[in-house]
Structure 1
């Protein structure tokens, strides 16, 4: 086998070679680069006066790549990224606004089926929504018998109290949450950092949702958007991660950039990627949590049977109809 053939073979990994989504790095933000595929792998190119600088991207170890302004990508590079199970998200300057996502094909529908069953029944959907609020409250569980409207109100009060606490801690006399992309430059550093960090958080959660085979559109608290479930899951971590971090950047001259850098460190320090995977599974089916959370399955397809459940695919079942032959 020639050196070029060997490199191309490595660029097309098998399922066994891919890391679990729970073990993935969080995200990579790119801006003003050209992403291409060569004989070695996927790299980001930047044209300089000295020539072309190349930085190779660890695509198989990334949950998602955020494509910022000025970034272009070739079809071969996109194909390799998709084979690696990495999501692509097109974002605005600083990763602030998410425009579109290019996601790899799901390898299994196991968790999608659990999500659909829980979402389609009002009673089970309410149970998942209550579990989400209980996760947000942390040690203080939701009051017994509280309605969804009451839980929303309690969560709103908790976030307002957190804003006041953070403002007092960092000596900010007045703070109001504001997200207005049309007047972005007029916003204060805390709002800029919070919006930028939340968008990166959405990209990572979106990648985790797709890697498990779930639908980002079937939300349990949010509704009416293709990102409903992503917003549901991302809200679990804002009070612990993005809100305190944003207030700590109140004096930053470049809050969006610093927010992205710190968020990467937060993901590494708190091991948030495996936490996101485990939390999604716990929300959808608490009884089925295993030590293999986030594992990519090589059992791609099976057949459904109302009596037997899942049957193996790739099997000829013609013999079962021999007794129905017409004479």
Structure 2
């Protein structure tokens, strides 16, 4: 069996894999974590490279052994239970993920987070920084990603430029989190409209319960982003309840704040592109994971959370 240090040799911010499994059994065998699929004539075992995995989503028809959970915890892999296709995320009361227990995670980030979190003005400033970096990341990706540009998701579009600049102005001017969320909703609505037009998708309304392909892919992709965000916060030792923007009554709200950093830039365009191309859910999922890897999405999340947690000049920057 691999030593504990070997299992955590790859930094979480550099890990490449997210797994979604269904209709299988996850188990430990010969010091490895495997999943077993039952075929008509034979059973097949497949290896999960846990040292290079951030999170594991278990869909319908799955089970997992205690020994496998122990190894996943040793490797720092988060485990979540979900419905078919990766959404909606299902878990026991109030939590989104089964997180490995560790008393040896860093303390500096949660201590830094607590220095500003109880001050409403500083929380707003942190939320603004998240929104500014979110838009900056989108501009960066849509300016350089050749595949997205080939599909029409290009920062050269004047309407897109105006929408993003207007959103940045609203972020700067916001006096309360409610105003910030309103501006976020308006921008996202414009991005959906832009994506539907660019991909020739037709009429589109964002509804999480809708069954059309674009809505389904958006749900699915968003949960992949939530997995990255949950991993980021677990590694840095910051509880999910200390959100700066989303609802105070939802314990997983900080996961949503962090996931929003990459959702518009990566999930949104590929949801519409893959819907247009009639891709399967597996093909869409692979495209999202490739985009996460190509653009260092997980490392970007880590850097943004760490920057806010360790910010030294909260006294001078808070409103």
Please state which band the TM-score falls in when normalised by the shorter chain.
0.7 to 0.9
1:66 Cα deviation from its structure 2 partner: 0.7
Give CA-to-partner distance per residue, 1:55-110, whole Å, 9 cap, x none: 11111110101111111110011001001111001111000111122111242332
SS at match of 1:43: strand
Matched, 1:76 2:67: yes
Where does residue 108 of structure 2 map in the other structure? Answer: 110
Aligned length: 274
Indicate the structure (1 or 2) with the bigger Cα radius of gyration. Answer: 1
Q: What pairs with 1:92-103 in structure 2 (closer than 5 Å)? A: 92-100=83-91, 101-103=97-99
Q: What pairs with 1:12-51 in structure 2 (closer than 5 Å)? A: 12-14=3-5, 17-51=8-42
- Kept in 2, the 8 Å contact 1:32–1:68? The answer is yes
Q: What pairs with 1:76-225 in structure 2 (closer than 5 Å)? A: 76-100=67-91, 101-106=97-102, 107-138=105-136, 140=165, 141-142=168-169, 144-148=172-176, 149-180=178-209, 187-223=211-247, 224-225=249-250
SS at match of 1:249: helix
SS at match of 1:55: strand
Following the alignment from structure 1 to structure 2, what is the Cα–Cα distance between the partners of residues 252 and 154?
A: 31
Q: What pairs with 1:261-276 in structure 2 (closer than 5 Å)? A: 261-276=286-301
1:29 Cα deviation from its structure 2 partner: 0.9
1:260 Cα deviation from its structure 2 partner: 1.2
Give CA-to-partner distance per residue, 1:176-224, whole Å, 9 cap, x none: 10111xxx5xx21111111111111111211121111111121100121
SS at match of 1:102: coil
Where does residue 279 of structure 1 map in the other structure? Answer: 304
- Kept in 2, the 8 Å contact 1:26–1:204? The answer is no
Alpha-carbon RMSD: 2.1
- Kept in 1, the 8 Å contact 2:7–2:75? The answer is no
Matched, 1:62 2:48: no
Give CA-to-partner distance per residue, 1:238-269, whole Å, 9 cap, x none: 21011111111233545533321111111111
Structure number with the higher helix fraction is 2
Q: What pairs with 1:241-260 in structure 2 (closer than 5 Å)? A: 241-253=266-278, 255-260=280-285
Q: Which runs of 5+ in 2 are unaligned?
A: 92-96, 140-164, 314-319
Following the alignment from structure 2 to structure 1, what is the Cα–Cα distance between the partners of residues 8 and 280?
A: 37
The alpha-carbon distance between structure 1 residues 281 and 36, as it changes in their structure 2 partners (threshold 3 A), is: same
TM-score of the pair, normalised by structure 2: 0.79
Q: Which runs of 5+ in 1 are unaligned?
A: 1-7, 289-327
Where does residue 299 of structure 1 map in the other structure? Answer: none
Following the alignment from structure 2 to structure 1, what is the Cα–Cα distance between the partners of residues 6 and 242?
A: 27
The alpha-carbon distance between structure 1 residues 91 and 252, as it changes in their structure 2 partners (threshold 3 A), is: farther
The alpha-carbon distance between structure 1 residues 16 and 202, as it changes in their structure 2 partners (threshold 3 A), is: closer
TM-score of the pair, normalised by structure 1: 0.78
Where does residue 146 of structure 2 map in the other structure? Answer: none
Give CA-to-partner distance per residue, 1:24-79, whole Å, 9 cap, x none: 12411111111111223111112234433111111111010111111111001100
